[in-house]
């Protein structure tokens, strides 16, 4: 999907014109079930996206990844300052990560041990009093950071992880989101360029997330742009796969703090445990079950555009490329099939949320709704402050793709307000909301009983989904794409 030029966009959209005309006519006649819930713009965007993402002839994984990394440039109402957090010379962070994975692992689960690497990041802030076409000034990255900080008006620092199914996208693709959140919070955002799958499978991205978080708390060197950021000023934020990284990072911090480790070395810092938790964790349409085996995957499909869950049949449709299949072959882009139900891979399986920071979930009536509700319900029952906002008939990441709609505007406002309140220490009440389509009317729901799935049913569904990626004794080798 090449979006690097107007001509490329035209080549992508023109074949969809007949479909879009049909969608418009059917919507005007109120033929689709969705017509009573969606306006025409939503109908066109969601159904055109669905057509593109559910192609019977998908683009090679490496090409999808390469295209998604196209940098649209920096202009308009944003300050961007690029920097890199160096990998620590000591291996303590790597060891506590692997120990947490091992402590939570079931027999027979396999993964590729991570290696430490430098983590590229983008500081993002709102740039006031310019139009949307103002070019980025010709300054050093440190000077850009100083300009950014001159417009920060609150203590909020968001640590942001972008979506993209773990194998696509980049901080550059999410600058509109991060700069908007910086504006809404009067704060700043640190957007992380974590390593992408399938080249860097679990737990590489989670290691990058941990290094980024520790680098905020304990700047790696005197050359760092920022001074130490207190944990109560940090809010984790992310969408889709990035939401998974946020929630997994919270669970990782909790697991590290449950361990017997007394301290770790991080660059020139000796850090005593327990590690401080952030003020809160906030996610938009978090992907918390990598097997995608919960009932909402089929029950809510009419409101969504996501492709079907990864399976041996679906995997076989991807053409060979340098990124896929992996060597040795895996049943999932992100991890080995055997470990898909690990709580740091699919956080809906996490058993203990005691001591967690407040959690905020915003999501639609989408295919991933059940997995969000499993985590929200379980955490609330264990005494964690949880806010769950479900938007009727809205698709995956609706706030990001339906820009300008009343639902998107309100969801963003709620997101920003939650982050500000968390840093002020004002998040005190667990609550669940159901927001009606079009009207925006809110109805309180019982968050502790928002999901009726038992732990046994969840495990059964996930194990069945994992088994569906195998065939006989040849295991994951059967998932090799067809030539």
* Residue 1 scores a pLDDT above 80: no
DSSP, collapsed to helix, strand or coil, labels residue 287 as coil
Same domain for 168 and 22:
no
Give the predicted TM-score (pTM) of the model: 0.94
Same domain for 78 and 62:
no
Region 2-6 average pLDDT: 44
Of 49, 66, 83, the residue at which a domain comes to its end is 66
CB atoms within 10 A of CB 420: 19
* Residue 184 scores a pLDDT above 80: yes
Q: What is the pLDDT of residues 271-305, one digit of tens each?
A: 999 999 999 999 999 999 999 999 999 999 999 99
Same domain for 98 and 220:
yes
Region 243-271 average pLDDT: 98
Same domain for 25 and 112:
no
pLDDT number for residue 314: 66
pLDDT number for residue 304: 97
Same domain for 130 and 41:
no
Give residue 243's pLDDT band: very low, low, confident or very high (50, 70, 90): very high
Same domain for 245 and 210:
yes
Same domain for 39 and 171:
no
Residue 322 lies in a domain: yes
Query: What does residue 264 show for φ and ψ, rounded to 5 degrees?
Result: -135, 155
Residue 181 lies in a domain: yes
CATH number, domain of 89, equals: 3.40.50.1820
Residue 177 lies in a domain: yes
* Residue 316 scores a pLDDT above 80: no
Higher confidence at residue 204 or residue 474? 204
Residue 471 lies in a domain: no
Among 15-19, 220-224, 260-264, 434-438, the least confident range: 15-19
Give residue 311's pLDDT band: very low, low, confident or very high (50, 70, 90): low
DSSP, collapsed to helix, strand or coil, labels residue 352 as coil
Give residue 6's pLDDT band: very low, low, confident or very high (50, 70, 90): low
pLDDT number for residue 327: 85
* Residue 161 scores a pLDDT above 50: yes
Contact (CB, 8 A) for 158 and 187: yes
Pairing of strands 442-445, 431-435: antiparallel
Q: What is the pLDDT of residues 324-367, one digit of tens each?
A: 988 888 889 999 999 999 999 999 999 999 999 999 999 999 99
274: tokens are 């327990």
Same domain for 84 and 61:
no
Query: What percent of the chain clears pLDDT 90, i.e. is strictly above it?
Result: 79
Residue 243 lies in a domain: yes
pLDDT number for residue 482: 29
pLDDT number for residue 315: 65
Q: How many residues belong to the chain?
A: 483
* Residue 10 scores a pLDDT above 60: no
Query: How many structural domains comprise the chain?
Result: 2
- Where do runs of H (alpha helix) occur along 188-230? 204-217
Residue 465 lies in a domain: no
* Residue 457 scores a pLDDT above 50: yes
Active site residues: 240
* Residue 309 scores a pLDDT above 90: no
Report CA-CA distances (Å) from 106 to 110, 244, 262, 276, 378.
9, 20, 25, 27, 21
What mean pLDDT value characterizes the chain? 92
Same domain for 83 and 54:
no
Cα 411 from Cα 418, distance rounded (Å): 11
Q: Residue 365's Cα: distance from chain center in Å?
A: 17
Q: What is the pLDDT of residues 42-88, one digit of tens each?
A: 999 999 889 888 877 788 999 999 999 999 999 999 999 999 999 99
pLDDT number for residue 2: 39
Same domain for 140 and 56:
no
Provide the sign of the torsion angle of the four alpha carbons 442, 443, 448, 453, taken in this order.
Answer: negative
pLDDT number for residue 51: 87
Chain position carrying tokens 């309140």: 421
Give residue 383's pLDDT band: very low, low, confident or very high (50, 70, 90): very high
Cα 127 from Cα 72, distance rounded (Å): 17
Cα 92 from Cα 114, distance rounded (Å): 13
Provide the sign of the torsion angle of the four alpha carbons 290, 292, 295, 299, taken in this order.
Answer: positive
Of 66, 91, 115, the residue at which a domain comes to its end is 66
455: tokens are 């732990």
Give residue 33's pLDDT band: very low, low, confident or very high (50, 70, 90): confident
Of 50, 66, 82, the residue at which a domain comes to its end is 66
Same domain for 37 and 182:
no
Residue 57 lies in a domain: yes
pLDDT number for residue 471: 46
Residue 474 lies in a domain: no
Full domain range(s) for residue 358? 74-312+318-458
Among 154-163, 209-218, 468-477, the least confident range: 468-477
Strand partners, 443: 434
Same domain for 447 and 375:
yes
Region 183-206 average pLDDT: 99
H-helix or E-strand spanning residue 264: strand 263-266
What string of H, E and C letters represents the secondary structure of 372-437?
A: HHHHHHHHHHCCCCEEEEEECCCCCCHHHHCCCCHHHHHHHHHHHHHHHHHHHCCCCCCEEEEECC
Query: What does residue 5 show for φ and ψ, rounded to 5 degrees?
Result: -155, 160
């Amino acid at each position: 999907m090449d979006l690097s030029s107007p001509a490329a966009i035209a080549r992508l959209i023109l074949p969809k014109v007949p479909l879009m005309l049909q969608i418009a006519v059917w919507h005007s006649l109120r033929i689709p079930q969705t017509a009573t819930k969606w306006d025409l713009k939503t109908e066109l965007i969601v159904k055109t996206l669905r057509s593109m993402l559910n192609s019977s002839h998908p683009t090679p994984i490496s090409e999808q990844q390469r295209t998604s990394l196209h940098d649209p440039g920096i202009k308009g109402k944003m300050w961007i300052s690029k920097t890199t957090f160096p990998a620590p010379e000591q291996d303590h962070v790597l060891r506590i990560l692997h120990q947490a994975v091992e402590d939570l692992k079931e027999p027979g689960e396999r993964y590729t041990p991570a290696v430490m690497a430098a983590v590229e990041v983008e500081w993002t802030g709102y740039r006031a009093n310019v139009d949307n076409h103002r070019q980025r000034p010709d300054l050093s990255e440190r000077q850009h950071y100083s300009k950014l900080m001159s417009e920060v008006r609150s203590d909020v620092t968001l640590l942001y992880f972008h979506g993209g199914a773990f194998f696509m996208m980049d901080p550059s693709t999410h600058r509109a989101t991060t700069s908007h959140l910086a504006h809404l919070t009067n704060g700043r955002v640190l957007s992380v360029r974590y390593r992408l799958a399938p080249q860097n499978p679990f737990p590489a991205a989670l290691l990058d997330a941990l290094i980024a978080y520790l680098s905020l708390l304990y700047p790696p060197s005197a050359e760092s742009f920022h001074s130490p950021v207190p944990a109560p000023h940090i809010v984790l934020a992310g969408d889709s796969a990035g939401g998974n990284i946020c929630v997994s990072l919270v669970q990782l911090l909790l697991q590290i703090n449950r361990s017997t480790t007394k301290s770790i070395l991080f660059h020139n810092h000796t850090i005593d445990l327990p590690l401080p938790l952030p003020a809160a964790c906030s996610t938009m349409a978090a992907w918390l079950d990598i097997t995608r085996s919960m009932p909402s995957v089929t029950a809510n499909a009419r409101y969504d555009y996501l492709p079907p869950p990864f399976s041996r049949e679906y995997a076989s449709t991807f053409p060979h490329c340098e990124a896929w299949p992996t060597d040795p072959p895996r049943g999932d882009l992100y991890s080995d099939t055997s470990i898909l139900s690990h709580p740091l891979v699919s956080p809906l399986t996490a058993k203990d949320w005691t001591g967690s920071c407040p959690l905020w979930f915003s999501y639609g009536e989408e295919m991933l709704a059940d997995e969000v509700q499993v985590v929200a319900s379980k955490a609330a029952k264990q005494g964690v402050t949880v806010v769950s906002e479900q938007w009727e008939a809205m698709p995956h990441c609706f706030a990001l793709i339906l820009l300008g709609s009343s639902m998107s505007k309100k969801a963003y406002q709620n997101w920003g307000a939650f982050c500000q309140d968390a840093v002020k220490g004002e998040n005190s009440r667990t609550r669940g909301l159901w927001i009606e389509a079009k009207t925006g009317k809110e109805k309180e729901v019982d968050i502790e009983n928002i999901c009726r799935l038992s732990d046994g049913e969840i495990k059964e569904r996930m194990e069945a989904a994992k088994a569906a990626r195998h065939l006989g004794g040849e295991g994951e080798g059967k998932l090799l794409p067809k030539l």
